[in-house]
Amino acid sequence: MSNPQHIHNLAVLTSGGDAPGMNPAVRAVVRTALNHGLDVYAIYEGYKGMVEGGDKIKKMNWDSVGGMLFKGGTIIGSARCAEFRTREGRLQAAHNLIERGIDNLVVIGGDGSLTGANLFRKEWPELLAELVKKRKITKKVAEQHAHFNIVGLVGSIDNDMFGTDMTIGADTALHRITEAVDAITSTAASHQRSFVVEVMGRNCGYLALMSAVATGADWVLIPESPPNVENWEDKMCEVLKAGREAGRRDSIVIVAEGARDRNGKPISADYVKNVLHERLGEDTRVTILGHVQRGGSPSAFDRYMSTLLGHAAVEEILNSEPGGEPQLIGMRDNRVTHSPLMDCVAQTHGIADVIAAKDYEKAMDMRGGSFKEMFRTLRTLVRALPHPPTSGQRRLRLAVVNAGGPAAGMNTATRTAIRIGVDKGHIMFGVKNGFKGFINGDIEEMGWMSVAGWATMGGANLGTSRKIPHGSDLYAIARHIEEHQIEGLLVIGGWAGYQSAYTLRKERWNFPAFNIPIICLPATINNNLPGSEISIGSDTALNNIMVSVDKIKQSAVASQRCFVVEVMGRYCGYLALLSGLATGAERVYMHEEGVTLNDLKTDVENLIEGFEHGKRLGLIIRNEQVNKFYTTNFMCALFDQEGGDLFDVRQAILGHLQQGGDPTPFDRIQATRLAVKCVDYLIEQAETTGDDPGAAFIGLQSGKVKLTDLEDLPRMVVDELQRPKKQWWLNIRPIAKLMAQSGPNVGGA
Ligand code: ADP
């Protein structure tokens, strides 16, 4: 079995608890390795398979990882393995690997699995020496494999690991939790019931906190920050009772499984239920979400991130010094990064120790700034009623408008802005129907309860339009600003919103009414705005596209068919590229690259070649504006004609389903985060800058919230193409291309 020509082979395994996204990671590892000409093996059933050997260690080819992108769990299996904890077991594992020339390993698992891998790596020279001594391998073979290299990827739904902002599976778990809590909320509201929902997270409150933000839950209990008062039960009951009195029909409490009180005593979901029942007389039910949270098809983010991480893991192995410090590949600040593996494991254990030692302040510090900030924000948003304005406080009059096409998350952002503003003692207005409504004076004061339930709703309840004001519109808007004495404006929207805000900014010298702070929050499915790497709504659109394409692919299994799927984005290829990556499309057309007759000719030839060699399904994703002459119809007709009897072609224009749907957890969380900052900005500018207030757009840049001066808008965009000059995600293009290369049977897998 040993292969002297290919002495440095690579293996990948998944270990510990399974997590959605492990499959895309394995697929990326295998394809990247093959692309570099390496022999690559998948070890089935984690360390168990490594110890057992035989057919548990399988050589992979391009097609063996086809069709697994959309599957949840891990196809190559995971198992707990007691033998691997023994030296005898590890000796056997080393023998099995070296027989196949494997001395590189990508481990996808939690801290336990990564610790085990590191131990194995350190022991490797001794294990080989022992195998030589026992005459199981030759000295020469041992010398050829002197070093064992490992790279770690974190597969864990809890998001509990240092070294990565997100673990593989955490985003999907949030999807499952928010779906479940949204569903529970509607039944709870029908019967005016209370629900206590337990989510996973023994030492990590990430899932509990973020799902509480995303679902608009009324109370949350997390391990890192137990209630800071002894009689927290009274406090919780008081808030929930006040909520009922203010008109809330449901009460939802989210409890992390590791929740505890200040003294370290566990707080169970049942305990919370009894408290609510006894003290409030509430009809209370408990739902323990359990393994539902682990299940199901990975979200678009988990497919995309895992693909990038799997690719980076192989690159790391190829580029690192043999025997060097092993690395953990993670995603930090929206970029793939590597950090010393065992430092990350140690820090992860450190936080568990800090929690066990009841040093909760340190635990929250260790979780980092945005986690703490989110917890603070949540505590405001869950209030039944706002703090009353303080006496003598200057009460600002701030307006919120939605503008551009509808994008999921607009309501979440609007709710947060209204509540944060009102809680700080200010008077908040909602402008209806975008700038069209502004021109007509369609403006209303918004109270605390006017946005109840908006956190989870898709669409734009305020109404939105693509109208960009000009000429006499500006007089009308100026008049309404003056009439309502508006002192600050938050524009939640896309291209039209940004252009409108810019127009007001530019016309300040003409219209003194526009001399108010203005801030734009990026909300468009197209992700075509400057100053933000991601806009609110684009994650929801991406998931909508992905789910539809998964179904389209399923529909085609029985026939030899090529689908051309047209997605939105105007001139911005973000949705096309990322959905292509998430669904395994073999070809993505986007305006940034264009398409020529020669490209189409090559694509036809590739399709014919593929179908001639047994391919069953073709999948091509096309941005709506890629080329005005080579339309979707044209492309389909061309492929169909050239495909003859070999395959047929169908088009799927996804249309408006991309703009609808409930916002994803990511869109809800980021909408909340950005809206808080926007209101802070308006208040700060209104209170401090007098005659020359700022005007800016906010955004996520390298994972951080940043502001850009609105004046910079024109120089940052290509106006006629309605997209930013710099688009960071174009860097992903080569990886998407690599993954999509067709093996004979790959067929859009
Ligand atoms: P996770 O990787 O999700 O933290 P576990 O802690 O259960 O999950 O670890 C998974 C497997 O990794 C274990 O069943 C065992 O085979 C291996 N493993 C974990 N810790 C060690 C260790 N200290 N030494 C050797 N193997 C280990």
| 641-683 pLDDT, tens digit each | 999 999 999 999 998 888 889 999 999 999 999 999 999 999 9
Task: Evaluate: CB of 84 within 6 angstroms of ligand 1.
Answer: yes
- Going from N- to C-terminal start, the domains of the chain cover 9-167+298-332, 170-293, 397-536+664-713, 542-661
- Ligand 1 atom with minimal separation from the 90 CA: 25
CA 121 to ligand 1 center in whole angstroms: 14
* φ/ψ bin of 660: left (φ > 0), alpha (ψ from -120 to 50), beta (otherwise): beta
CA 210 to chain centre: 12
What DSSP character marks residue 441? T
Within 8 A by CB and 6+ apart from 707, the residues are 519, 531, 681, 696, 697, 698
pLDDT at residue 5, as a whole number:
41
d(CA 675, CA 380) in angstroms, rounded, equals 13
pLDDT digits (tens, 9 = 90+) for 64-87: 998 899 999 999 999 999 999 999
Task: Evaluate: CB of 226 within 6 angstroms of ligand 1.
Answer: no
d(CA 122, CA 486) in angstroms, rounded, equals 66
* CATH number assigned to the domain with residue range 397-536+664-713, chosen from the 4 options 3.40.50.450, 3.40.50.1980, 3.40.640.10, 3.30.2320.80: 3.40.50.450
Task: Evaluate: CB of 109 within 6 angstroms of ligand 1.
Answer: yes
Burial class from Cβ neighbours inside 10 Å (0-12, 13-18, 19+) for residue 93 reads buried
Q: For atom 21 of ligand 1, which residue has the closest CA?
A: 116
CA 17 to ligand 1 center in whole angstroms: 10
d(CA 467, CA 496) in angstroms, rounded, equals 7
Task: Evaluate: CB of 80 within 6 angstroms of ligand 1.
Answer: yes
Task: Evaluate: CB of 113 within 6 angstroms of ligand 1.
Answer: yes
Q: For atom 6 of ligand 1, which residue has the closest CA?
A: 112
Residues of the chain with pLDDT under 50: 1-6, 744-749
d(CA 709, CA 686) in angstroms, rounded, equals 16
d(CA 232, CA 235) in angstroms, rounded, equals 5
Residues 710, 713, 719: CA angle, nearest 5 degrees: 150
First to last CA, the chain: 30
pLDDT at residue 614, as a whole number:
84
Tokens of residue 514, six digits:
């526009």
Question: Do residues 213 and 374 make contact, with C-beta atoms less than 8 angstroms apart?
Answer: yes
Q: How many CB atoms lie within 10 A of CB 145?
A: 23
Question: Do residues 713 and 530 make contact, with C-beta atoms less than 8 angstroms apart?
Answer: yes
Cross-strand bridge partners of residue 41: 11, 59
Residue 38's alpha-carbon distances to 117, 306, 318, 734, in angstroms, are 21, 20, 10, 19
Q: Would you please indicate which residues are annotated as catalytic (active-site) residues?
A: 158
Question: Do residues 544 and 657 make contact, with C-beta atoms less than 8 angstroms apart?
Answer: yes
pLDDT at residue 7, as a whole number:
54
Give the residue from 678, 684, 710 showing the smallest Cα distance to 695: 710
pLDDT at residue 1, as a whole number:
40
Give the residue from 110, 120, 88 showing the smallest Cα distance to 11: 120
Q: For atom 15 of ligand 1, which residue has the closest CA?
A: 81
CA 111 to ligand 1 center in whole angstroms: 7
Tokens of residue 128, six digits:
């080989």
Question: Do residues 19 and 156 make contact, with C-beta atoms less than 8 angstroms apart?
Answer: yes
CA 164 to ligand 1 center in whole angstroms: 19
Cross-strand bridge partners of residue 563: 619, 650
Q: For atom 22 of ligand 1, which residue has the closest CA?
A: 116
Tokens of residue 136, six digits:
């199981």
CA 14 to ligand 1 center in whole angstroms: 11
Two domains, one topology: 9-167+298-332 and 170-293: yes
Which percentage of the chain shows pLDDT scores above 90?
A: 84
Q: For atom 20 of ligand 1, which residue has the closest CA?
A: 112
What DSSP character marks residue 664? P
Q: Which amino acid is at 547?
A: V
Could you tell me the sign of the dihedral formed by the alpha carbons of 298, 735, 574, 585, in that order?
negative
pLDDT at residue 228, as a whole number:
83
d(CA 166, CA 151) in angstroms, rounded, equals 17
Within 8 A by CB and 6+ apart from 681, the residues are 517, 519, 694, 696, 698, 707
- Ligand 1 atom with minimal separation from the 120 CA: 25
CA 16 to ligand 1 center in whole angstroms: 6
CA 53 to ligand 1 center in whole angstroms: 18
Q: Which residue has the tokens 């131990």?
A: 119
Question: Do residues 568 and 555 make contact, with C-beta atoms less than 8 angstroms apart?
Answer: no
> Within 385-442, where are the H helices?
410-423, 434-440
- CATH match of 9-167+298-332 with 3.40.50.450: yes
* Fold observed for domain 170-293: Rossmann fold (3.40.50)
* φ/ψ bin of 310: left (φ > 0), alpha (ψ from -120 to 50), beta (otherwise): alpha
Task: Evaluate: CB of 531 within 6 angstroms of ligand 1.
Answer: no
Question: Do residues 68 and 76 make contact, with C-beta atoms less than 8 angstroms apart?
Answer: no
- Ligand 1 atom with minimal separation from the 17 CA: 3
Task: Evaluate: CB of 522 within 6 angstroms of ligand 1.
Answer: no
* Fold observed for domain 542-661: Rossmann fold (3.40.50)
Task: Evaluate: CB of 345 within 6 angstroms of ligand 1.
Answer: no
> Within 198-268, where are the H helices?
206-215, 232-245
d(CA 624, CA 525) in angstroms, rounded, equals 13
